[in-house]
Structure 1
Amino acid sequence: MRKHKAIIVDDQRTVRSMIKRWIESDKNWEVVGEASNPFEARDLIIEKQPDVMTLDVHMPEMDGIEFLKKLLPQHPMPVIMFSSSTTEGTSITLEALDAGAFDYVTKPTGTQESLIEAKEDLLEKLNAALNYNVSLFEQSKRIISVTPTESKKSINFRTKLILIGSSTGGTTALRKLLDEVDHTFPPILIAQHMPENFTALFASRLNSELKTKVVEAKDKQILEKGTIYIAPGNYHLEVQKWNGDLYTKILQTEKVNGHRPSVDVLFESAVQNGLAKDSIGILLTGMGSDGAKGLLKLKNNGCFTLGQNKETCVVYGMPKVAFELGAVMYQLPLDKMLDKVKEIGAR
């Protein structure tokens, strides 16, 4: 059986060697080339036709973002970024995702635990990248170029809560989904798989781009209309009900489905607090199965549930599992979801 091919782009030889060892520890993968700068990488891509490329965000002569913008229109392919967890590294990584990167791995800090975590994260994302929906790259360019339509009339929502789960491809999908959300919407709680330090910056970026308020969720916040709450990295987010008010609960219990925040934890908290029948549950692009069982519990307790369709997912993993479980009432393309949310919310 043919092995999957990867190339590594990083200006440090020791880092390239480490990543190569990690990749080739999986017998289904081989590293077919290494490059110390984007110019070498461009020639390697043409010659080797890799399945996946790993790319350092900080590169000499041309940074990773500029390289992505030049590369992907000519050679659409999954690119996994290697990022530091510094504020600067986080910001560049979010830009890379906007520019079309498939996903990212946070560089290890040097401890044995961080090395193991980074290796496992990379191998998981390499294999997920084999299911990357390459056609989305061109679709996104077409969507961006469309003339914006006039804002539709605001809805008088009866729904009290909107719950969203997402993973790989979610940062871009969330921005598109939430673009027309305004102050009339009920509180929106989001569990997006992201590490610490990333979620605060992601929330801040969304807050500056969207029409409504976006915050990284804190513990015991009373939920307000027209506000979007992003689960903080490395913490679970739950919704709680007390004396008629809805509020957040932040906790750092064990990972669920390998994730913290976990979508299942968020979804199941709404069920446990009797909020399913007053909620809309949405599961977006992402690898794995996190959120699928929780979405089914929401549906079985009276919640309207939506899943992103295969054609618009970067990775049709989480919504696929949910659909196969019978948890999805409406499977829709990303650009049709908000209209369905408005339709359901006004019932």
Structure 2
Amino acid sequence: MKKNKVIIVDDQRTVRGMIKRWIESDPNWEVVGEASNPFEARDQIIEKQPDVMTLDVHMPEMDGIEFLKKLLPQHPMPVIMFSSSTTEGTAITLEALDAGAFDYVTKPSGTPESLIEAKEDLLSKLHAALNYNVSLYQNTKSTTPSKILSAKRHTSFKTKVIVIGSSTGGTTALRKLLDDVDESFPPILVAQHMPENFTALFAGRLNAELKVKVIEAKDKQLLENGTVYIAPGNFHLEIQKLNGELYTKITQFEKVNGHRPSVDVLFDSVVNCGIANQTISIILTGMGSDGAKGLLNLKNNGSITLGQNKETCVVYGMPKVAFEIGAVMYQLPLESIADKTREIGSK
């Protein structure tokens, strides 16, 4: 059986050894090279032609971001970053995703539980990386969204709320989608698979770049037009109705479909509030199936449902499952979703 090839790039030998043991515990994978710095890695990539690379965000001589920017134009491949959960590590990881990294794994804290979780996360993302749409690399390069408002974009919406679910590739996809959104849009709630400490920084970066207000959601916030609410990492985000008004609801019950936040939890809460027929629901790039059943539930209760198409997804997983079970009414390229939302929402 032909095995998938991985190169590990990390300046610590003990960490490389740990990652190698994790990877080779799966018989479908083999580690064909290890490098302690980007220069060693470059030579091995040319020689070994790996399918996937793991990369530490903090590297000697050349940091991971600079390496990605130099490497990917010449050798497009899925790169999984190893990130610390510190503020600095989180910021660098988000920059890496903007620079074209496929995904990231949070470094374990050292407890047995964190080691098991990191190993399972890595193996899952290695598997997903085999479906990486490498042709999208040119479109995943960092761009600077404009804060300038365009009067012609303002729309009179009749839709009460927009809900979005995303996972792998979602940080970049959301950034591009929301760049075409303005303060005339109804409240937008987002369940993006992301751990604690990442979501506040992610929301802050988007808020600084986009035309709309973007915040990490807190419990019992009144939903306001022109505001994007990002589900906090390790918590579920829902919509609740209190005294006839719509509010956020933050909970921390068990993971759903292996995720917290879960897209299905957000989507199902719309139906439970009785506002599905006044909602536009969107499912974006991501591995797995979270959100597919919730999107079908929304559609069956009157929501207009949109899914990102295969050609523009980093991983055509969640939207594919949703499409195959009949949950998607309009399957569109990422760049067309905001305009379609604007068109539907004004009717």
TM range (shorter): over 0.9
Displacement, 1:312? 0.1
Is 1:273 the counterpart of 2:262? The answer is no
Change (3 A) 1:150 1:74: farther
Displacement, 1:143? 8.7
Q: 2:181 touches 2:211 (CA, 8 Å); kept in 1?
A: yes
Q: Secondary structure at the match of 1:152?
A: helix
For the residues of structure 2 that align with 1:21 and 1:306, how far apart are their CA atoms?
A: 41
Is 1:138 the counterpart of 2:116? The answer is no
Q: 2:100 touches 2:141 (CA, 8 Å); kept in 1?
A: no
Q: Which runs of 4+ in 1 moved over 4 A?
A: 140-145, 148-151
Displacement, 1:151? 6.2
Q: 1:151 touches 1:180 (CA, 8 Å); kept in 2?
A: no
Change (3 A) 1:140 1:59: closer
Equivalent in the alignment of 1:241: 241
Displacement, 1:144? 8.3
Which whole-Å deviations, capped at 9, do the CAs of 1:191-246 have from their partners, x for residues lacking one?
A: 00000000000000000000010000000001001100000000000000121100
For the residues of structure 2 that align with 1:141 and 1:9, how far apart are their CA atoms?
A: 22
For the residues of structure 1 that align with 2:181 and 2:23, how far apart are their CA atoms?
A: 41
For the residues of structure 2 that align with 1:177 and 1:336, how far apart are their CA atoms?
A: 9
Equivalent in the alignment of 1:27: 27
For the residues of structure 2 that align with 1:228 and 1:234, how far apart are their CA atoms?
A: 18
Q: What is the TM-score normalised by the length of structure 2?
A: 0.97
Is 1:83 the counterpart of 2:83? The answer is yes
Equivalent in the alignment of 1:14: 14
Displacement, 1:149? 12
Q: 2:98 touches 2:141 (CA, 8 Å); kept in 1?
A: no
For the residues of structure 2 that align with 1:221 and 1:144, how far apart are their CA atoms?
A: 29
For the residues of structure 2 that align with 1:121 and 1:205, how far apart are their CA atoms?
A: 25
Q: What is the TM-score normalised by the length of structure 1?
A: 0.97
**Structure 2 residue ranges without an equivalent (≥5):** none
Is 1:66 the counterpart of 2:66? The answer is yes
Q: Note the 1:286-325 alignment, pairs <5 A.
A: 286-325=286-325
Number of aligned residue pairs: give it.
345
For the residues of structure 1 that align with 2:149 and 2:256, how far apart are their CA atoms?
A: 40
Q: Secondary structure at the match of 2:2?
A: coil
Change (3 A) 1:276 1:262: same
Displacement, 1:180? 2.1
Displacement, 1:142? 11
Displacement, 1:275? 1.1
Equivalent in the alignment of 1:221: 221
For the residues of structure 2 that align with 1:151 and 1:99, how far apart are their CA atoms?
A: 31
Q: 2:100 touches 2:140 (CA, 8 Å); kept in 1?
A: no
Identity %: 80
Q: Note the 1:110-259 alignment, pairs <5 A.
A: 110-140=110-140, 152-259=152-259
**Structure 1 residue ranges without an equivalent (≥5):** none
Question: Which amino acid letter does the alignment assign opposite residue 64 of structure 1?
Answer: G
Question: Which amino acid letter does the alignment assign opposite residue 291 of structure 1?
Answer: G
Change (3 A) 1:40 1:289: same
Which whole-Å deviations, capped at 9, do the CAs of 1:278-327 have from their partners, x for residues lacking one?
A: 10000000000000000000000000000000000000000000000000
Question: Which amino acid letter does the alignment assign opposite residue 86 of structure 2?
Answer: T
Query: Which 10-residue stretch deviates more, 134-143 or 118-127?
Result: 134-143
For the residues of structure 1 that align with 2:259 and 2:92, how far apart are their CA atoms?
A: 23
Displacement, 1:102? 0.1
For the residues of structure 1 that align with 2:151 and 2:35, how far apart are their CA atoms?
A: 47
Displacement, 1:182? 1.3
For the residues of structure 2 that align with 1:141 and 1:211, how far apart are their CA atoms?
A: 20
Is 1:339 the counterpart of 2:339? The answer is yes
For the residues of structure 2 that align with 1:35 and 1:310, how far apart are their CA atoms?
A: 34
Q: Secondary structure at the match of 1:164?
A: strand
Equivalent in the alignment of 1:102: 102
Q: Secondary structure at the match of 1:228?
A: strand
Which whole-Å deviations, capped at 9, do the CAs of 1:52-101 have from their partners, x for residues lacking one?
A: 00000000000000000000000000000000000000000000000000
For the residues of structure 2 that align with 1:162 and 1:66, how far apart are their CA atoms?
A: 36
